[in-house]
Amino acid sequence: MSSIKYLDEWSVEESFFDPNHLGKYEAIMAQGNGYLGIRNVHEEEYPHEQRNTFISGIFNRFSESEVSELANFPDVTMFEIRIDGELFSLLKGENSNYSRNFNYQTGESYRSFIWSDNLGRKLHFEFRKFVSMYDKHLIMTKVKIKNLGIAVNLSVSSGIDGTKTNSGSQHFEEGDKRYFDNQFLYLHTTTTVSKIPVAIASCLKSSSGVKSRPVMARRKMQEVNSFEMNTGEIFSTTKYSMMRTERDLEYSGDNYLVDDLISSLKTVTQEDYTIHLEKSAQAWAKIWNQKAISIDSEDFLDQLLLNFARYHIHVMSPIHDDRLNIGAKGMSGEGYKGHTFWDTEIFILPYFSYTFPEFAKNLVNYRMKGLSAAKKNAKINGYKGAQYPWESAWLSDGEVTPKWGDIDIITGEPTPILTGEIEHHVTADVIYGIADYLLATQDAEVDEKLFEVVMEAAKFWCSRSTYNREKDHYEILDVIGPDEYKEHVNNNAYTNYLAKFTLDRAIDEYNKKANSEMAVGFQKDIDVIREVARKIYLPQINEQGILPQDDTYLQKRKIDLTKYLNDDKVNTLFLDYNLEQVNNMQISKQADVLLLMLMFSNKFSLKAMRENWNYYYPKTLHDSSLSLSTHCNYALLISEEELAYQLFKKSFDIDLGSNNMASSDMGIHSASMGGIWQNVVRGFGGFALDKDGIVINPKLPAAWRSLIYTVVFRESTVKVCITRNNIKLKILNGAPIKVTIRGKEYHLGDCGLTVTI
Amino acid sequence: MSSIKYLDEWSVEESFFDPNHLGKYEAIMAQGNGYLGIRNVHEEEYPHEQRNTFISGIFNRFSESEVSELANFPDVTMFEIRIDGELFSLLKGENSNYSRNFNYQTGESYRSFIWSDNLGRKLHFEFRKFVSMYDKHLIMTKVKIKNLGIAVNLSVSSGIDGTKTNSGSQHFEEGDKRYFDNQFLYLHTTTTVSKIPVAIASCLKSSSGVKSRPVMARRKMQEVNSFEMNTGEIFSTTKYSMMRTERDLEYSGDNYLVDDLISSLKTVTQEDYTIHLEKSAQAWAKIWNQKAISIDSEDFLDQLLLNFARYHIHVMSPIHDDRLNIGAKGMSGEGYKGHTFWDTEIFILPYFSYTFPEFAKNLVNYRMKGLSAAKKNAKINGYKGAQYPWESAWLSDGEVTPKWGDIDIITGEPTPILTGEIEHHVTADVIYGIADYLLATQDAEVDEKLFEVVMEAAKFWCSRSTYNREKDHYEILDVIGPDEYKEHVNNNAYTNYLAKFTLDRAIDEYNKKANSEMAVGFQKDIDVIREVARKIYLPQINEQGILPQDDTYLQKRKIDLTKYLNDDKVNTLFLDYNLEQVNNMQISKQADVLLLMLMFSNKFSLKAMRENWNYYYPKTLHDSSLSLSTHCNYALLISEEELAYQLFKKSFDIDLGSNNMASSDMGIHSASMGGIWQNVVRGFGGFALDKDGIVINPKLPAAWRSLIYTVVFRESTVKVCITRNNIKLKILNGAPIKVTIRGKEYHLGDCGLTVTI
């Protein structure tokens, strides 16, 4: 029986203490605010827990042999509780009435249980915790313990623990430890290589009469509350912790990290847990209310899934700072080291572009600011122009993809990771994402900056292409496409089409700017760009109606995938085959041709879309969390609506589901979160843009009675209410816009609009 | 009730699973062979365990802000056991028949218990573990599990875990991981700064039918054995692990770390656990039998204490390599970072000098080889000659004393550690230790090398002394003596007398070599040395009969120490006072004047020794483990025999006792181990040397019926049997020697000797 219970549209529960699936809850209940991110680890320590605290942008490289990664911060979440000197653990004794609830609406976790043993000791525990959405530097925990049994000696200790690492790699110096004013623990340290000063302060406010004393050890400091507790007594303590770094936008010199931090901590300790939680919940409420999306479904899990996804998008996205971007696991685990992938542009950015364009702008600017690093990267790899890193961390870190992966079951050696070397489509994905953002916003500032970025990206693609004299066309050889089970392929359709998209956009932009000063620098490049754009090889649908994924995919061996498709775990294929063998089979890790056809659905006939679905879908294992949402929206395009809903349901399992309790161990799947929004709004909600307005062609699942969503189009915020019978639209603010519904154009003005369907 | 049980003269038991005192057992049951050292951590993981593996000489400095320390190696001792997928822990379910025995004779630990839960699962577990004394690279574990309950799915995994750190400081690169021949896990890595290549290989040999598969994660690789286990079935697996480093004396190029290591591992896996244990036990037996020491006491704990001490001395002493020395906690924990102190020469070296002089030689040579680092150190500090570091690691590391200690309860800031800066007596202690070794061995080679060392040490003391014109003498100002509760004192008696000892020895050596070429280099120094030796201020016994510890000690405030003396914990004084306050009180951490008087007992009258005992003993907290053994032997000199035995008994509590279950958390106390031997042989056994023979004046405690010990004097190994009535001596090998018993000289020849007392 699974310990996960889904309580309502906003909350999940760990319904009994489940030490076998710590990672699941740590990740799905991860907390944060885009600046800070913590895994939701139990206060008391357990084997195999993964106690992570990250601050966006604080990257460090352990050594030359590792890559830059989000550094696991000194921890403030752990409590050492001793009962009569014995370390408390739920593994010991008995527990009853256990429940850990997580509320995605407020971001608070609440755990309570009664613990007892056969010596007559019995205590009621309550733990509350949140990371403030209101004050982004603040983490709060409240512990309340009531003695229901015999008198005991209780000791509750917590502080700052700098022994934490990223799976063994330590990114911080031990630093300087202080105990200010006999109440504030303080640690000032720096990352070891990137040398970023950071400061952490914490303080325990305990129920009256209990005096704490400080204890210091290597890399560790704690306040200890130790006292005799009689039957019926209640002890409570509130822990206030704050963190700051030199990379904070507000950084204003050393004081910011020392005196100012202590004085901020002093200020926040003037108010209690409830007040701070309320402030944070209000900040969350703004997000929920201003851009409400609600699903009236027979199954409340649909709304829960969406809320869960949106919660995590906001927890993981450092949208306050345009030097930062989103990690593939957000800040909910060490997986992918906090690195940014194409996941941002293709899967997550649309959420922001169409819901919070002001935040999307920061994400887009990250790529703009990454131009010079991308140019350097191209140069290192022998190309021209700008090549965006496959994995990206702090902008100046450049390419940060690790070199080695899991052990190869055949050779006994680690598998080389080639994505950093040859998975190049990201440099087109970035342009695609920005173009979509511009379509949504017409942001003049970004539009202005796009020119240089797209010209440099186009230059990259020209230098990346190889002229085939015989066929008189340009080919893109030796790449990995979205389907990473195929290494060293030529003319991956997705890559070539996206490169073509980039080249065409560059030409458009150049034409717009042809007579400007900006264009001068690219005069010598534009002819090449035009030549390659004209002659780049775009794989075409063959006689069987199939768009070949690459030059050789269709000739490879086919195998029966039933076994792997039925397995709840991903990557089980690699228990039987190594990557070299899989490379020679018609097996796709995720959507590749289908993703391309979805992104450019107007270029393909419905027949072609169906035929390619029939060919590729059965060969796809969805071993990437990027796969399901693509297939869901694709299924809607070919009117496989029931299947689409099934696929949407399946994406519940990626993180939130109970079928695979280990899937989120390394962190939640960021792209999946974006994909869920895309399924709801762009898929079932049928939201799209055309040149000068929005398009709404909803395809509600049978289980849904209605769907309400809020989107932003240029200056206008629009609320869309879809029922079985009609579509109601309302401008929440901004100017009237044009709306196309079922092919018919409408004017959406101040009075709103109701269209019967 | 304490979990410790003392079973017999060779073994202790953890009689019930005691998760509150993990550190105690990890340290007192630590295993090793002088090359390798591991803490005895449970196979399954528990919170607050301290899983350490060290290899002598493998030091690394995490960063500029930390000091060089013994690096905690990737771990091979942990096992992940899952029952029906749930991580096994003794904190869960019920356990019965629990026992963990440690046998100091063989070095093997054996743990067994029956675990069950209310689902009907019931298994009998047995774990055996040892570090081979025969093959110093080998660690072995044997796990045997019998299913006494319902059928379960059992999974047993173990491998190489490189996530371990020194309390958060990671000293190793992730390194290269391999799985050779589908059976050998292999990790090749290097320390991060000292760049020492090391290699670790391990292999599981499991009961037939169970096939393991490799699993790899960051810094981690495991072999997993997973299978269905029916009622009554038995599973067993033996883990062979081997470690090698580039600093091994046998190192012979890269092959040594790769092919040779794997081929060694292949060879050892040809033989089973029992055979390897037998080989190791035989190597231990040599130590016990060749240099037997046995106490026939009313209380078997006396013999257990001695065996425990000797076991740990051999486990922690890297006597195979004269570039290495003994850590203050051996290799049984991270305490003192594996650093060598004066503890070696004053407390531990005598054991080797008089029992295994061939090993003592390596320890002495370490200091000889340290001469150039000591010269550099003197220069850095503005002195002449050679100044031995207060704390020492790899020779070229120089001074490695950390700069900061515990939090100051008054200021809230860390306490500065001044020992590295001003506790200088080590440079004389080293000479004292070598002189004692030479007295024991007449080792011509060392004698030859001593010259330069003692001349440079004398030069240091000259430059360290300050001429007081008024008093026309040389003073040694601003030091810390053995009593570290007194910082910045002038003319600490211990320091000044030891400096004088060094100067005198230098003059003697110079006189011997005066006409040799070696002396030439010191011609310009010898006059200064003679001048300082003549005029160095040696504090004298005052009118009250007291030898002042330093210039100001006797004028300081006296306080009532009863509270602290009655406390089982050490350092409790600092919960009430800070070091600055203690500095102004007549409180001693450990023997200081008394140690001096013990070391030079022939220079003081019995009356003076009694009077100084009466003065200093009540002011001494024994907050250092170096204190009790000194006081024990001192008490014997002043005929306080009962008290001496009480103090000896008290030294049981330093590590082995049940009164303070946290005292060994950071590791066992090396100097105490040497002190225990010194109490038994030099104290109660009354063993000493005079110029050309040995002296035996035993003072057996009332509880002892007899004492047998074996000592080496120059070329002769002598067995001494002391009973209440007589002393029997026998030459085990070597030439006849002169023996003085109760003031009377005897000739000890091949026939042995019996003297009635």
pLDDT at A85: 93
For B65, the closest of A48, A162, A173 (CB atoms) is A173
Task: Provide the 8-state DSSP code for A588.
Answer: B
Give B406's contacts in chain A (Cβ within 8 Å): 216
Going by pLDDT thresholds of 50, 70 and 90, the confidence category of residue A389 is very high
- For residues A636-655, average pLDDT: 96
Contacts with B, A 55-84, CB within 8 Å: 62-63, 65-66
Smallest CA–CA distance from A574 into chain B, residue: B215
pLDDT at B577: 86
Centre a 10 Å sphere on the Cβ of residue A248 and count the other Cβ atoms it contains: 20
- For residues B424-433, average pLDDT: 98
Interface touch A162/B168, C-beta < 8 Å: yes
Q: Is A168 on the interface with B (CB under 8 A)?
A: yes
More confident residue, A1 or A193: A193
Going by pLDDT thresholds of 50, 70 and 90, the confidence category of residue A208 is confident
CB contact at 8 A, B257 and B115: no
Q: Tell me whether 0.95 is exceeded by the ipTM.
A: no
Cα separation values, B674 from A547, B329, B570, B668, B680, Å? 80, 12, 20, 12, 10
Is the alpha carbon torsion for A21, A26, A28, A29 positive or negative?
A: positive
- For residues A2-27, average pLDDT: 97
Q: Is B134 on the interface with A (CB under 8 A)?
A: no
Give the residue carrying structure tokens 């599990």: B145
The whole-angstrom distance between residue B114's C-alpha and the CA centroid of its chain comes to 35
Going by pLDDT thresholds of 50, 70 and 90, the confidence category of residue B515 is confident
More confident residue, A406 or B306: B306
Q: How does pLDDT run across A704-738, given as a tens digit for each residue? A: 999 999 999 998 999 999 999 999 999 999 999 99
Give B20's contacts in chain A (Cβ within 8 Å): 85-87
Q: How does pLDDT run across B516-530, given as a tens digit for each residue? A: 888 998 999 999 999
A182 CA: distance to closest CA in chain B (Å): 7
Interface touch A87/B20, C-beta < 8 Å: yes
- For residues A55-59, average pLDDT: 98
Q: How does pLDDT run across A122-147, given as a tens digit for each residue? A: 999 999 999 999 999 999 999 999 99
Helix, strand or coil, per DSSP, at residue A12: strand
Going by pLDDT thresholds of 50, 70 and 90, the confidence category of residue B634 is very high
- Looking at every residue in chain B, the average pLDDT score rounds to 96
pLDDT at A243: 98
Q: How does pLDDT run across A475-496, given as a tens digit for each residue? A: 999 999 999 999 999 999 999 9
A180 backbone dihedrals φ, ψ, rounded to 5°: -85, 140
Residue pairs spanning A and B at CB distance below 8 A: 138
Going by pLDDT thresholds of 50, 70 and 90, the confidence category of residue B406 is confident
Interface touch B407/A92, C-beta < 8 Å: no
- For residues A209-217, average pLDDT: 86
Give B87's contacts in chain A (Cβ within 8 Å): 19-20, 47-48
pLDDT at B411: 83
Annotate A523-546 with b (16+ C-beta within 10 A) or e (fewer): eebbebbbebbeebbebebeeeeb
Interface touch B216/A414, C-beta < 8 Å: yes
Angle at A353 between CA A348 and CA A355, to 5 degrees: 95
- Looking at every residue in chain A, the average pLDDT score rounds to 96
Residue A514 has pLDDT above 90, yes or no: no
User: Which residues of A participate in catalysis according to the annotation?
Assistant: 484
pLDDT at B486: 96
Going by pLDDT thresholds of 50, 70 and 90, the confidence category of residue B181 is very high
Q: Is A193 on the interface with B (CB under 8 A)?
A: no
For B168, the closest of A86, A163, A575 (CB atoms) is A163
Candidates B22, B165, B187, B262, partner chain A, best to mutate (most A CBs within 10 A): B165
- For residues B208-225, average pLDDT: 90
Beta-strand pair B4-8/A79-83: unpaired
Smallest CA–CA distance from A176 into chain B, residue: B414
Contacts with A, B 375-414, CB within 8 Å: 406-407, 409, 412-414
For A48, the closest of B87, B169, B414 (CB atoms) is B87
Cα separation values, A274 from A129, A140, A142, A278, A383, Å? 11, 10, 10, 6, 56
Smallest CA–CA distance from A185 into chain B, residue: B412
For B168, the closest of A86, A164, A215 (CB atoms) is A164
Interface touch A407/B180, C-beta < 8 Å: no
Interface touch B412/A179, C-beta < 8 Å: yes
Rounded Cα gap, residues B276 and B294, in angstroms: 27
Q: Which two tokens stand for residue B333?
A: 């924990």
pLDDT at A411: 83
Q: Which of B452, B484, B509, B611 is the catalytic position? A: B484
Candidates A173, A194, A224, A572, partner chain B, best to mutate (most B CBs within 10 A): A173
Cα separation values, A109 from A29, A140, B253, Å? 8, 11, 56
Centre a 10 Å sphere on the Cβ of residue B73 and count the other Cβ atoms it contains: 27
B495 backbone dihedrals φ, ψ, rounded to 5°: -65, -50
Q: Rounded to a whole number, what is the distance in angstroms from the first to the last CA of chain A?
A: 44
Residues 6+ apart with CB under 8 A from B566: none
Rounded Cα gap, residues A424 and A502, in angstroms: 13
Q: What is the CA radius of gyration of chain B?
A: 27
B412 CA: distance to closest CA in chain A (Å): 5
Burial of A702 (0-12, 13-18, 19+ CB in 10 A): exposed
Q: Is A165 on the interface with B (CB under 8 A)?
A: yes
pLDDT at A583: 92
Partners of B236 in the beta sheet?
B144
Residue A77 has pLDDT above 90, yes or no: yes
Beta-strand pair A234-245/A220-229: unpaired
Going by pLDDT thresholds of 50, 70 and 90, the confidence category of residue B450 is very high
Please name which of B326, B288, B301 lies closest in space to residue B656, comparing C-alpha atoms: B301
Q: How does pLDDT run across B23-40, given as a tens digit for each residue? A: 999 999 999 999 999 999
Q: Is B19 on the interface with A (CB under 8 A)?
A: yes
Smallest CA–CA distance from B195 into chain A, residue: A63
Residue A567 has pLDDT above 90, yes or no: no
Q: Is A531 on the interface with B (CB under 8 A)?
A: no
Q: How does pLDDT run across B668-714, given as a tens digit for each residue? A: 999 999 999 999 999 999 999 998 899 999 999 999 999 999 999 99
Number of residues written out for chain A: 757
Above pLDDT 90, what percent of chain A? 91
Q: How does pLDDT run across B307-349, given as a tens digit for each residue? A: 999 999 999 999 999 999 999 999 999 999 999 999 999 999 9
Interface touch A165/B163, C-beta < 8 Å: yes
pTM of the model: 0.95
For A20, the closest of B87, B167, B217 (CB atoms) is B87
Candidates A61, A91, A173, A403, partner chain B, best to mutate (most B CBs within 10 A): A91
Above pLDDT 70, what percent of chain B? 100
Rounded Cα gap, residues B665 and B667, in angstroms: 5
Residue A680 has pLDDT above 80, yes or no: yes
CB contact at 8 A, A197 and A246: yes
Q: How does pLDDT run across A682-700, given as a tens digit for each residue? A: 999 999 999 889 999 999 9
Give the residue carrying structure tokens 């313990």: A145
Q: Which two tokens stand for residue B386?
A: 């050679």
Residue B563 has pLDDT above 90, yes or no: no
Q: How does pLDDT run across A243-296, given as a tens digit for each residue? A: 999 999 999 998 999 999 999 999 999 999 999 999 999 999 999 999 999 999
Rounded Cα gap, residues B597 and B599, in angstroms: 5
Q: Which two tokens stand for residue B272?
A: 């089973």
Candidates B49, B63, B164, B187, partner chain A, best to mutate (most A CBs within 10 A): B63
Residue B757 has pLDDT above 90, yes or no: no
Q: Is A174 on the interface with B (CB under 8 A)?
A: yes
pLDDT at A423: 97
Give A45's contacts in chain B (Cβ within 8 Å): 47-48
Residue A518 has pLDDT above 90, yes or no: no
Give A181's contacts in chain B (Cβ within 8 Å): 412
Rounded Cα gap, residues A587 and A598, in angstroms: 20
